[in-house]
Chain A
Amino acid sequence: MTVSNSSISNSESQITASQVLTGRRMLIAGLWAVLYLVLIDISINIFFAMPKSPLVDPGKLQSYFNYGRSVEGKLRKMIGHDKESTAILAYAGWLAENNDQQPPIASSSGHILVAAYGQSFTDQICEALKVLDPRFELRLKDGPAAPLSHSYAFYKADSSHQKADIVVLGILASSLPLMMAPTTATINFEGVAPYTYPLYSLKDGQLSEVDPIIHSLEELRTALMDKPILWNEYLEMLRTKAPTYNKWIFESDWFDYSALARLIRRSIGQKHVHDATARYWNTNGFKNADGLLDIANALITDFVSDVKIRGQIPYVLLIQDKGYKDHLALAFEAQLKHLDVSYLSTHTIAPSTNARNFISDGHFTPEVTMQIARAFRTDILNKLRIDISP
């Protein structure tokens, strides 16, 4: 076959090989590139090292270059021998350490006592409730980005709600899949919160729980510093029981020492988070993978019946954070209606597809929080048959 030369010459490739490019030069340039990479790695480790004290907030770039540190590496950085060398975040969310440290809230005339179990979203809505109506008295128990299982376990372990008029369970959409492990760190690996909680499952329709092995900050400190056997036992439990566990992002290795390797681990982590989330959720809603929705419904059912037995009013807040549309409502509305329990889904007030409803850290704006609290208040007061005007 011959090809005519009269083809379209003006669109021919202009990728012209520079004649000066030779194999030897390229090889030398490659060696220079390797040298630069080593220098860049060392420079990042020096100039963007995390602050020595975990009590000092790192800068944005320091955080950026350390997101890829393994969960174990992050825990070792944030938990020291004493209070002065331990990050404040490390104290949050532990069931054992928060249990009953405060006296049960006492009913006083004219006050409406609310005990709420959830996370910062739930706290903010409840606090806005108090701002709106000073008659509300609050008892808040939370964990950073806590999933339903943590809130439920907190409720079970806590007795301070016993005299409350209303007991609130706050379910955050983005945190729901986190209940498939006894720690949020298997998915939330960039901003690790070390607290643990039981891992629930259903056996013959009955709830059963797996003990998280580590129950308090003190136990975690001991495991990390003095008792590697306990730490390995914890890891073994995660490996065998938690479908969202991934050793590459959880367990410490030499990647923690190289800035560029940490960036690579971060990408592996992002992929893991993407896959783990996709296992339980897609743009159409939550999936019942590993029995997620069955377990969640069982926890809600148990919570509602327990609260009702005490003669209190259960209330479920379905908090649809950015991107989750009405997915919690889709997953739980039928069960909540069946249980005849009051609930509020935030998407009816603040659609999660509207970026204006959220601030940069993902929380609702103060105005939106106030709107939700207003609807929440009306609902509660109607339920209690109390006059809406304070």
Chain B
Amino acid sequence: MIFNSLSFAIFLPIVLILYYLSGRRYQNWVLLVAGYSFYGVWDVRFLYLVSLSTVLDFCTGLMIANGRMSISQRVAPTCHLLGFALFFLVPDWHAITFQGMFLESIDWSQLLTPTPLGVNVLVLSAFGTAVAHIAYPYVIKQMQEKARRLFFLRCSLVGQLGMLGVFKYYNFFVAEAENLAKGFGLDVPTMHLDIILPIGISFYTFQTLSYVCDVYWGKMQPVSRLRDFALFASYFPPLVAGPIERASHLIPRILGERRVSFDNICQGGYLILIGLVKKMTIADGLAGSVSSIYDTTGDVGWLDIVCATVAFAIQIYGDFSGYSDIACGVSLWFGIELLKNFDQPYFSLNPSEFWRRWHISLSTWLRDYLYIPLGGNRGSEIMTYRNLVLTMVLGGLWHGAAWNFLLWGGYQGGMLIVHRLFVGSKPKEFVGSLLSRLPRMAFFFVFICYGWLLFRATSFDQINTFTQILFGDFSDMSLQMKIPPFSAFFAILILLSVEVCQFKTQDIHFYARYPSFVHGGIYAFLVVLFIMGLSNDSQQFIYFQF
């Protein structure tokens, strides 16, 4: 289920009605079931992975902090995991077919025939939980606190990163190893696994990892009830494409009192509307133009590459920040504020500032859970450079198992090092008007765009060819790129105006300062832009694949 779909337009009001009608006691249950439904609609089998991730970090969190779990704290995860395996993996859910959003048929005999995968996973889960229950008395009696804390932290890291590795990176590394072996003339059997990437796995894995790390570092207490932690892990607005929520930020909001004010509703509505415009009118409008150059098998010229790359820079910003805006807006309707993920990134003057403004929830995650533990800038300059590159390369790899993402990460790390070489470790912030920033912004935007070329390229050959044309072949200045629709141009202008206002006021809800008739005009324009964007060919959110 994606935010710009009809199914979500039906799903959300139902959840909201149930949420508002429920008392405080049941609201979290509504959100929990909604989260599982939201994720399960995509592929119900992968709810087991969400369950495994939830159970693993719930238990490790408690064991790290307290060193023990009550009976109910041990029974609940067991039931959760086995129940999810039994219900979502054992039946063959392909037996249920849909025509659009409506049920078409159910083949009961197929549905009730246990799938081999489901049975195997159920048996393994039962075995795993049995081992955990048997080992539990030994752990609490025999293990020293320090060893126990480290052991369970490692359990969580191995488990979570292992799942991520298998589903996201296994085929990539196996394929590369096979290619390498073939390069040496070795004939190796193919070890490719026929698995699909669970949607949003990188997002919820990082989210739950932040919880375990924070508990380990003593920054927060563990969650004592599985259902609360399950909601943290499956809270649907940021579930599949962020923002990557921090446990220390989201859990208090899940557990605490919530009040949905009229302001929440209005601000949420604005964020949803502008998010939809960014996604549907701008990003989807530009997608065909970008694709006409990056997915072509024919020759392209200098102007094509420049225009398509700039268009992609706008597309990916519209697509990703649009998703984040909608997630934040929807969440505000439940009275829960999410982390801010974007802050006018293309107004940045240097790579350091860019990473404080682009995908903030990931860059701060990488800073706090990777860069600083690696040593950050506490060692020598060389070590700092190493940490920067390592962090950015792993950040690139987080986006996907492909060489171009690694290259993009390396490029970002390289830019950070060069910037640090020029300005030192404590650069002065630029003080001046937006107009005076403009030349520097434009200069740095060129470097951002080259990064997007690496990111969007479909092969190494394409990177090579495009780079050669960009830097040395100006012979073909014709434009073959598909011209974006009128609505996209119009919406980009409006978005630029909105971004300028937000930048100047440092307030995402800057419009509220204006008189009501201006305020109303902004809403009306956004509605018109949204309606215009409805005609664009709907595209999957780019960051869903990560």
Contact = CB atoms under 8 A, between A and B. Distances in A.
B487 to A, nearest CB: 8
A252 to B, nearest CB: 20
A3 B337 contact: no
Contacts of B360: 11
Contacts of A349: none
A352 to B, nearest CB: 9
B520 A35 contact: yes
B246 A1 contact: no
B339 A11 contact: yes
B219 A6 contact: yes
Given A23-B263, A353-B295, A8 B248 contact: yes
A281 to B, nearest CB: 15
Contacts of A3: 220-221, 248, 251-252, 255
A270 B340 contact: no
Contacts of B343: 14
Given A354-B296, A356-B298, A4 B220 contact: yes
A284 interface: no
Nearest to B299: A356
A25 B516 contact: yes
A309 interface: no
Contact of B524 (A2, A13, A21, A33): A33
B472 interface: no
A14 B262 CA distance: 19
A18 B507 contact: yes
B519 interface: yes
Given A12-B249, A28-B520, A351 B219 contact: no
A15 B528 contact: no
B474 to A, nearest CB: 18
A13 B512 contact: no
A270 B537 contact: yes
B257 to A, nearest CB: 14
A2 B219 CA distance: 11
Contacts of B146: none
Interface stretch (A86-94, A163-171, A258-266): A258-266
B14 to A, nearest CB: 22
B266 A26 contact: yes
Given A33-B521, A37-B528, A357-B298, A28 B516 contact: yes
B293 A1 contact: no
Given A8-B368, A15-B508, A18-B513, A29 B339 contact: no
Contacts of A34: 520, 524
Nearest to A61: B486
A305 B263 CA distance: 73
Interface in A249-276: 260, 263-264, 266-267, 270, 274
Contact of A267 (B220, B517, B534): B534
A274 B537 contact: yes
B523 interface: yes
Nearest to B536: A270
B516 A351 contact: no
B527 A264 contact: no
Interface string B360-395: 110010001000000000000000000000000000
A13 B520 contact: no
Contact of A8 (B222, B364, B537, B538): B364
A21 B266 CA distance: 9
Contact of A2 (B221, B292, B332, B480): B221
A15 B328 contact: yes
Interface in A320-343: none
Interface in B498-526: 507-510, 512-513, 516-517, 519-521, 523-525
A40 B521 CA distance: 10
A10 B364 contact: yes
B218 A4 contact: yes
A161 to B, nearest CB: 36
A60 interface: yes
Most buried by A among B224, B525, B534: B534
Nearest to A60: B486
Most buried by B among A14, A17, A28: A17
B297 A353 contact: yes
B445 to A, nearest CB: 23
B140 to A, nearest CB: 20
Contact of B527 (A28, A35, A37): A37
B535 A25 contact: no
B338 interface: yes
A102 interface: no
Given A20-B512, A25-B519, A354 B298 contact: yes
Nearest to A6: B219
B483 interface: yes
The DSSP consensus for interface residues of chain A is: helix
Nearest to A357: B298
Contact of A7 (B219, B297, B507, B528): B219
A389 B269 CA distance: 71
A360 interface: yes
B246 A8 contact: yes
Contacts of A248: none
A351 to B, nearest CB: 6
A31 interface: yes
A16 interface: yes
Contacts of A18: 507, 509-510, 512-513
B532 interface: yes
Interface in B223-268: 223-224, 228, 246, 248-249, 251-252, 255, 262-264, 266-267
B248 A354 contact: no
B528 A64 contact: no
A32 B514 CA distance: 13
A23 B532 CA distance: 29
B214 interface: yes
B531 interface: yes
A263 B531 contact: yes
A353 B292 CA distance: 9
Contacts of B368: 8, 11
Interface string B462-482: 000000000000000000111
A16 B507 contact: yes
Contacts of B224: 1
Nearest to A10: B364
A17 B531 contact: no
A191 interface: no
A153 B76 CA distance: 69
A243 interface: no
Nearest to A38: B524
A32 B521 contact: yes
Contacts of A11: 246, 249, 339, 360-361, 364, 368
Given A11-B339, A26-B266, A264 B534 contact: yes
A6 B338 CA distance: 18
A151 B239 CA distance: 52
A33 B269 CA distance: 13
A153 B55 CA distance: 66
B380 to A, nearest CB: 25
A289 interface: no
Contacts of B531: 260, 263-264, 267
Contacts of B361: 11
Contact of B523 (A1, A17, A20, A30): A30
A263 B520 contact: no
A355 interface: yes
Contacts of B223: 1
B273 to A, nearest CB: 10
A28 B222 CA distance: 45
B520 A1 contact: no
A33 B364 contact: no
Contacts of A29: 516-517, 519-520, 523
A8 B368 CA distance: 9
The 5 nearest A-B residue pairs measured at CB:
A32-B520, A354-B298, A7-B248, A267-B534, A36-B524
12 contacts: A3-B220, A12-B249, A18-B513, A21-B267, A22-B263, A37-B524, A60-B486, A260-B531, A263-B532, A263-B535, A354-B298, A355-B481
